[in-house]
């Protein structure tokens, strides 16, 4: 069987040339691998829109047919020869795809009969969890997973050690403030994408599972599937710390300079082992799991995400491990919300969110320049499916698969030279480079070579 060649390209500054080296190829082949390599390289190196690094994967019929890495996981501002290339082991702070992984962990707890998605979340949290505008309306974990809880991010969603979720969510408590964390929309009736939901979900999971969130996710999801990664940098072994992708932007004080230097945003550890956070020694379960960024802090490789995708395509099973029952995967993919133009039943974020399942976005293929969730076409029809997108600290990432065909695409880039808000796609609300990345990967999924 022919195997595609995967290239690793070191990103230099605008005037420097790119280097390439052979990387370990995936098990199966994409007939268009060379073309996809070239197209992705063009995306990476497009003048004034360069990307710091890029890792990408295509899965067809449940099997990896393409995987490649480009650019540098770490860029040396003074000596480009010291740039460290992205490779198959590179771990990215994957942003909001973390929410989907958290949802998978929650479903494992459901199977273990430790968590009931439709039970009053107050029963797990240990305090009365109510929107003060609707004090008799029960809020459930299902509402949190589907972004229909009536919580909002307006007052924040990540809190320092010593502050608790209870002190932030309960009226009159120490950190409640003006109450901007609660919407005037009734729980269960309106969709609004919210990061805070997942801090609450993580607290519920800690109480239900009896372990700290980062440890729990390792035990429930990552370890069984043999996936490298963690929700807490303290948990990563030294060899994985060295593989972290620093995330970059060419932005300083809200000003973008496409010809300027790459500026590190997060995970600029330079291979140094982080000092464990002493305060976590006395951490109380359910108090403040936002310390582990359940909404966006998972460090994971594109290859690790590929294992998660293949597990979902395999109806919960991968390499002999039955992480979830098929019925649980069906439950994860069941659509709970779809935008209704007449009812105005949700905030679509400029058309990007059209439908939502249990912790996963349902991509329905609505086209519209800067106003749709269109990912591209496959064999003449819009590529639709389930998954999640991520955007934080310069990184953009995507994980989308069709459970019927077993086809999917995964990508993560380590930062852009240009402002993605001002470089939206031609057919969707994605950035223009995301559209091109997905378009290139879909070439590997076409039914004919």
Tokens 């608790």, residue located: 164
User: What is the structure's pLDDT at 16?
Assistant: 34
User: What is the structure's pLDDT at 362?
Assistant: 98
Q: Report residue 317 as tokens.
A: 């099973």
CB 210 within 8 A of CB 376: no
The H helix count followed by the E strand count for the chain is 11, 22
CB 431 within 8 A of CB 396: yes
Q: Report residue 103 as tokens.
A: 């949802």
What's the pLDDT tens digit per position in 222-268?
999 999 999 999 999 999 999 999 999 999 999 999 999 999 999 99
Strand, helix or coil at 87? coil
User: What is the structure's pLDDT at 448?
Assistant: 64
Q: Which helix (H) or strand (E) holds 381?
A: strand 381-382
Contact residues for 221 (Cβ-Cβ < 8 A; gap 6+):
101, 104, 105, 108, 227, 308, 323
DSSP states of 70-119: EEEEE--SS-GGG-EE--TT-BEE-TTHHHHHHHHHHHHHHHTTS--TTS
Q: Which helix (H) or strand (E) holds 331?
A: helix 326-333
DSSP state of 221: I
Cα 422 from Cα 268, distance rounded (Å): 26
Domain parsing of the chain, residue ranges: 102-212
Cα 425 from Cα 369, distance rounded (Å): 6
CATH class in words for 102-212 = alpha beta
Cα 48 from Cα 387, distance rounded (Å): 30
Cα 337 from Cα 343, distance rounded (Å): 12
What's the pLDDT tens digit per position in 326-353?
999 999 999 999 999 999 999 999 899 9
Cα 286 from Cα 434, distance rounded (Å): 36
Q: Report residue 100 as tokens.
A: 């989907």
Strand, helix or coil at 438? helix
Neighbouring C-beta atoms of residue 416, cutoff 10 Å: 24
CB 436 within 8 A of CB 418: no
What's the pLDDT tens digit per position in 177-225?
999 999 999 999 999 999 999 999 999 999 999 999 999 999 999 999 9
User: What is the structure's pLDDT at 406?
Assistant: 98
Name the nearest CA neighbour of 241 among 13, 62, 74: 74
pLDDT < 50: residue spans in the chain: 1-25
Contact residues for 284 (Cβ-Cβ < 8 A; gap 6+):
none
Q: Considering the entire predicted model, what is its pTM?
A: 0.93
Cα 442 from Cα 67, distance rounded (Å): 13
């Amino acid at each position: 069987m022919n195997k595609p060649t995967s290239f690793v390209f070191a990103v230099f500054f605008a005037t420097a040339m790119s280097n390439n080296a052979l990387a370990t190829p995936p098990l199966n082949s994409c007939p268009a691998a060379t073309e996809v390599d070239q197209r992705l390289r063009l995306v990476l190196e497009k003048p004034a829109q360069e990307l710091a690094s890029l890792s990408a994967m295509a899965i067809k019929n449940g099997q990896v047919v393409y995987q490649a890495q480009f650019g540098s996981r770490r860029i040396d501002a003074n000596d480009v020869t010291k740039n460290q290339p992205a490779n198959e082991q590179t771990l990215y702070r994957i942003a909001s795809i973390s929410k989907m992984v958290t949802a998978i962990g929650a479903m494992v707890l459901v199977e273990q009969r430790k968590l009931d998605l439709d039970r009053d979340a107050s029963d797990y949290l240990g305090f009365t969890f109510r929107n003060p505008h609707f004090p008799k309306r029960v809020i459930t974990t299902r509402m949190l997973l589907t972004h229909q809880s009536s919580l909002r991010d307006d007052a924040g969603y990540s809190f320092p050690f010593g502050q608790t979720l209870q002190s932030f969510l309960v009226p009159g408590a120490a950190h409640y403030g003006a109450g901007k964390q609660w919407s005037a929309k009734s729980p269960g009736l309106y969709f609004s994408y919210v990061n805070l939901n997942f801090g609450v979900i993580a607290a519920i999971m800690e109480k239900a599972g009896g372990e700290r969130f980062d440890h729990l996710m390792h035990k429930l999801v990552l370890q069984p599937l043999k996936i490298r990664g963690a929700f807490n940098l303290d948990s990563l072994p030294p060899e994985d710390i060295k593989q972290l992708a620093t995330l970059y932007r060419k932005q300083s004080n809200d000003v973008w300079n496409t010809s300027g230097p790459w500026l590190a945003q997060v995970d600029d550890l330079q291979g140094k082992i982080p000092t464990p956070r002493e305060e976590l020694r006395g951490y109380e379960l359910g108090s403040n799991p936002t310390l582990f960024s359940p909404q966006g802090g998972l460090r994971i490789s594109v290859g690790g995400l590929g294992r998660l995708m293949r597990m979902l395509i395999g109806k919960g099973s991968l390499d002999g491990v039955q992480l979830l029952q098929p019925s649980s995967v069906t439950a994860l993919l069941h659509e709970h919300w779809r935008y209704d133009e007449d009812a105005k039943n949700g905030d679509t974020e400029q058309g990007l969110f059209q439908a939502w399942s249990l912790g996963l976005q349902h991509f329905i293929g609505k086209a519209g320049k800067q106003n749709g969730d269109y990912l591209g076409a496959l064999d003449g029809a819009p590529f639709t499916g389930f998954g999640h997108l991520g955007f934080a600290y310069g990184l953009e990432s995507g994980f989308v698969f069709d459970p019927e065909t077993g086809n999917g695409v995964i990508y993560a880039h380590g930062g852009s030279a240009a402002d993605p808000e001002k470089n939206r796609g031609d057919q969707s609300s994605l950035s223009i480079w995301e559209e091109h990345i997905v378009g290139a990967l879909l070439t590997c999924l076409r039914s004919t070579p």
